[in-house]
Structure 1
Amino acid sequence: MQGFDVSAILLNPQLAGMLVDGFWVTLIIAVGSWILAMSLGILLLVIRLMPGRIAERAVRVYVSYHSNVPTLVQLMIWYFGIFSLLPSAFQNWLSEHYAEATFAIIGLGLCQAAYFSEDLRSGLRSVVAGQEEAARALGHSYIGTMRYVLLPQAFSNALPALVNHTVSLFKNSTLALAIGAAELTHAVKEVENQSFRTFEAFLIATVVYLACSLILMGIGAWLGQRAKAVGAR
């Protein structure tokens, strides 16, 4: 029976290299899906605020779908469903260029965009009434009013919720394991299979995920303090 020994993994170049590679894939998935989610979340918010009920209802349907269908199911649909509908040549190209990570970014990003858009909408509701009219009176267009006046305040108001959902997005990157992405959890399982040190392998993963989540929350707290300092001026 093996005794507890984390160094047996960390000091093994092959096993440690597998964990490092998995961590980098996790970061790529998390950062890529966050950029997609935030960009699309802002776009959904702008569309929802435009005149016309059709656009607003379309955004509501989008948000409702991604809020009520489990993220894992959405990833499965993208990878095992939509991927299979693509032309064969494109499928082969994607298969040679990290298709699993690509569809993980798409699936997680589109899902998280629904939450980000709702966070920003709540933040926008907290903006003092009359600022949009004042900005338009000063000559700003609709886009200019959103960009320079309303959205910065909406971001500040929604920051706690955005940080929480960012942490959730980072943790949900583990779901990419289900479609074969070689992220950290996938690497941990490979390390476990080769070293037979289950507890040590998952303990390392736990520490890494905890450290990254705390760093994200720390950055969020710092940004919150900065926003308060700017608002107090």
Structure 2
Amino acid sequence: MDFSLIRDNLPFLLQGAGMTVKITALSLVAGVVLGTLVALARLSPLRWLSALAVAYIELIRGTPLLVQIFLIFFGLPQLLERPINEFAAGVIAFSINSSAYVAEIVRAGIQGVARGQSEASLSLGFSPTETLRYIVLPQAFTRTLPPLVNEAISLLKNSSLLSAISIVELTRSGQLVASRTFRPFEMYLAVSLLYLAMTLLLSFVANRLEKRWQVRP
């Protein structure tokens, strides 16, 4: 095994890792925003709106992520009659996919907040919107921190699928070096270790936040 090959190509692999982190972060933020809206629609007393949210969640969760990536990258330009760059397509596809999972996470978090909290808020003169914004959602997001971190880790690892549309993230970086050097074992070993380091770092940060906020299951 030639470890010098890993050392020489590490800067290029780290650039790919940076792209992976960038896509993961943007997709998670967008996924949390969109997923929260879908969760609220899912809990809406309006049956048609709730049914629409359920259909959205089942559609996204029931189809492969790679197919969703291809649909956005190859299919959406056909509808818009204009091209979409790889980065934008990747972020859009990941954000939509993440939102379906986040919606169920947030829904569970909202339903885990005691009804007495909302009733007490309403009795103090808060409007339903203020109760949701200031009382329910902060508690829900605190409770959902661990599963949200798991979703972030899943996004980070699934970002390897974006190599299929030629985004030079971590996996694609490893592929390029392996094809040039004909040393796939060393390159994919390095890629695996970098993914492991990033997921461990995410878990460490989440554990610290969980202890700081005293998250309870």
Which bin holds the TM-score, normalised by the shorter protein?
A: over 0.9
Structure 2 counterpart SS, 1:130 = helix
RMSD of equivalent CA atoms: 1.6
- State whether residues 43 and 107 of structure 2, in contact with CA within 8 Å, keep that contact through their aligned partners in structure 1: no
- How far the C-alpha of 1:199 sits from its partner, in A, is 1.1
Paired residue for 1:7?
A: 4
1:34 aligns with 2:28: yes
- How far the C-alpha of 1:110 sits from its partner, in A, is 0.6
Structure 1 counterpart SS, 2:144 = helix
- Counterparts of 1:9-158 in structure 2, within 5 Å, are 9-11=6-8, 15-88=9-82, 91=83, 94=84, 99-158=85-144
Gaps of 5+ in 1: none
- How far the C-alpha of 1:25 sits from its partner, in A, is 1.5
Paired residue for 2:187?
A: 201
Query: Per-residue CA shift, 1:174-233, capped at 9, x if unaligned?
Result: 11111221111111000001112111111111111001101111111112112217x8xx
- How far the C-alpha of 1:131 sits from its partner, in A, is 1.3
Moved more, 17-26 or 72-81: 17-26
- State whether residues 66 and 114 of structure 1, in contact with CA within 8 Å, keep that contact through their aligned partners in structure 2: yes
- How far the C-alpha of 1:50 sits from its partner, in A, is 3.0
- State whether residues 33 and 106 of structure 1, in contact with CA within 8 Å, keep that contact through their aligned partners in structure 2: yes
- How far the C-alpha of 1:83 sits from its partner, in A, is 2.2
1:185 to 150, 171, 177: 171
Structure 2 counterpart SS, 1:65 = helix
- State whether residues 42 and 53 of structure 2, in contact with CA within 8 Å, keep that contact through their aligned partners in structure 1: yes
Q: Percent identity?
A: 35
- How far the C-alpha of 1:109 sits from its partner, in A, is 0.9
- State whether residues 40 and 107 of structure 2, in contact with CA within 8 Å, keep that contact through their aligned partners in structure 1: no
How many angstroms apart in 2 are the aligned matches of 1:78 and 1:121?
Answer: 27
Query: Per-residue CA shift, 1:2-56, capped at 9, x if unaligned?
Result: xx12222322xxx344323212211121111111101111111222333311111
Gaps of 5+ in 2: none
1:221 to 202, 207, 210: 207
Over 3 Å counting, the alpha-carbon distance change for 1:142 and 1:48 in structure 2 is: farther
Q: How many residues align?
A: 216
